[in-house]
Amino acid sequence: MGISYKDSGVDIDAGNRAVELMKNEVESTFTPEVINNPGGFGGLFKPELGAFKEPVLVSGTDGVGTKLKLAFELDIHDTIGIDLVAMSVNDILVQGARPLFFLDYLATGEIDPEKIAEIVKGVAAGCREAGAALLGGETAEMAGFYNPGEYDLAGFAVGLTDQDKLITGEHIESGDKLIGLASSGVHSNGFTLARKALFDIAGYSYRENLTGLNQELGFELLKPTKIYVRPVLNLLDKFNIKGMAHITGGGILENLPRILPEDLKARIKKGSWQQPEIFKIIQEAGSIAEAEMYRTFNMGLGFILVVDPADEDKITNQLDELNEEYYLIGEVIEDEDSSLEFI
């Protein structure tokens, strides 16, 4: 009779079952702009453009990186999808875009329908938090390509804003204030360094109970990346935000200067925000230099706003009303020689 596709390692029936298991979670993200298209090969989305003079689409793509290793080791898969969504929607939010829809790509060596459904459950949760429809995706079964039980994720977000409301940072000037929004922890960057320090050098286990953490080490690291869409869009509706930065790979040192005009730099006050204990633990475990920590991790700030000093109090009052944790971390000053300094 010869061999079948299943004999070679690809189970179409398992893939179909995974699709059926994730169906309700996916549909829970649908916004009114989604056009239901059962059996279609592409997602349909009809944006309402009446309120826009010159609508601009803003897109972003990212993955989760080696944080996936924690999900594999702990066998917890229902939160890693939140990280996937967060990494892309926070990026497009920087330019003032409201997320419209999200697409995901999941590749694995062998489809486990229940595990796939758990992963997509997290993706759907992230999409609901961001107000984005999970419009489509791909689950690729690649037999022999991945180690047993492992998978990879990539995500793609598309958002919308008006051209005259695009936030580019070009209007930032000396004297503007910096407001940092707290991170939920390590988020999804620097995990190769974190794992090296914590597990290879210090020899900790995922189930380690360390002083300063209110849960086991592995669960602390697996905390999902915070999604900033709702509070930031709330601010954008009311205030003129001059610039924003998503603090991801490269940390504050590399992400904040990206939005500053030439001859300006950010002056940041050390100790002006509460750093989660996990960063101290990582630093001590690997004897990591402070500069390397700030260049790798968010260090407790996941998103930074640049605002006019006249608006600072009104913006912080609004953040208080939203129960959003924030810190006044510094200001923008004139400087031709550097783009960021800590004082």
- Using the 3D structure, point to which of 165, 193, 215 is the last residue of a domain: 165
Do residues 186 and 295 both lie within one domain? yes
Tally of structural domains, the chain: 2
Do residues 311 and 202 both lie within one domain? yes
Rounded to 5 degrees, what are φ and ψ at 214? -95, 10
Asked if residues 164 and 299 have their Cβ atoms less than 8 Å apart, the reply is no
Do residues 237 and 115 both lie within one domain? no
pLDDT in tens, 166-194: 999 999 999 999 999 999 999 999 999 99
In this structure, is residue 5 part of a structural domain? no
Do residues 158 and 257 both lie within one domain? no
Do residues 139 and 240 both lie within one domain? no
In this structure, is residue 58 part of a structural domain? yes
d(CA 109, CA 266): 46
pLDDT at 1 over 70: no
| Amino acid 50: pLDDT | 87
In this structure, is residue 208 part of a structural domain? yes
Do residues 231 and 333 both lie within one domain? yes
Do residues 182 and 318 both lie within one domain? yes
Token couple for 242: 């001059």
In this structure, is residue 26 part of a structural domain? yes
Asked if residues 274 and 212 have their Cβ atoms less than 8 Å apart, the reply is no
Q: Name the DSSP class of 311.
A: G
Residue 79's domain is classified under what CATH number?
Answer: 3.30.1330.10
Share of the chain above pLDDT 70, in %: 99
Q: Grade residue 338 by pLDDT with cuts at 50, 70 and 90.
A: confident
pLDDT at 205 over 80: yes
State the residue range of the domain holding 60.
Answer: 12-165
pLDDT in tens, 238-275: 999 999 999 998 999 999 999 999 899 999 999 999 99
In this structure, is residue 172 part of a structural domain? no
Asked if residues 63 and 75 have their Cβ atoms less than 8 Å apart, the reply is no
Q: How far is CA 165 from CA 47, 60, 89, 233, 256, in A?
A: 17, 18, 17, 12, 20
Please choose, from the candidates 266, 288, 267, 270, the residue with its C-alpha nearest in 3D space to the C-alpha of residue 279.
288
- Within 10 angstroms of residue 158's Cβ, the number of other Cβ atoms is 23
d(CA 304, CA 232): 10
| Amino acid 23: pLDDT | 86
pLDDT in tens, 122-150: 999 999 999 999 999 999 999 989 999 99
Do residues 202 and 316 both lie within one domain? yes
Do residues 128 and 25 both lie within one domain? yes
In this structure, is residue 126 part of a structural domain? yes
| Amino acid 21: pLDDT | 81
In this structure, is residue 2 part of a structural domain? no
Looking up tokens 């709702």 gives 230
Do residues 153 and 269 both lie within one domain? no
- Using the 3D structure, point to which of 165, 197, 228 is the last residue of a domain: 165
Strand, helix or coil at 334? strand
Do residues 275 and 325 both lie within one domain? yes
Do residues 86 and 139 both lie within one domain? yes
Residue 188's domain is classified under what CATH number?
Answer: 3.90.650.10
Q: How far is CA 14 from CA 20, 38, 115, in A?
A: 10, 20, 11
